Homo-oligomer: A and B are copies of this chain.
Amino acid sequence: MHLSPAYKTIFKNALEKSSLKPTKQREHIFSLILNKKDHPTADEIYTRSRETMPSISLATIYNCLETLVESGLIRQVNFERESTRYCPNLKPHAHFLCKDTGTIYDVDLPASVFDTLKKHLPKNFQPEQIDINFNGSIKKINNNS
């Protein structure tokens, strides 16, 4: 579980831009999220982290996740009041929660969709973030010819 040289540079630069240190724990958590591209909760990340870094604490998980979000390396995803989930996909995209399985899917969206949305805001509203969350079910595809 470790970062490619390319991501290591991205990681260090993002943190140093905010004068934060690229610590072992921060890198460990970042690499875990990057390498398994789902949308884990803090607690899932805690469990996965301890497999290879048994001494890490839950408080550190929360601290590091906050740091990674603030540095722009990962995104938070919230559905209703469920635990916050974390997402390494930095391209513009929406999220779809399947209410049958609980799985969250990335839905890629062209930048134009976000631009259109912004056009509907009053001129003095200045959005910093736009979250688009779908909620529904996924129909099984019929595979019989």
Contact = CB atoms under 8 A, between A and B. Distances in A.
Interface string A113-145: 100110011001111111111111111110000
A121 B96 contact: yes
A4 to B, nearest CB: 29
A113 B121 contact: no
Interface-central residue, A130, A131, A136, A141, by most chain B CB under 10 Å:
A131
A109 interface: yes
Given A113-B116, A120-B108, A137 B131 contact: no
Contacts of A128: 99, 135-137
Contacts of A53: none
A105 B78 CA distance: 19
A121 B108 CA distance: 8
A133 B120 CA distance: 13
A105 B120 CA distance: 13
Contacts of A91: none
A78 B131 CA distance: 11
Contact of A113 (B110, B117, B129, B130): B117
Contacts of A124: 138-141
A138 B109 contact: no
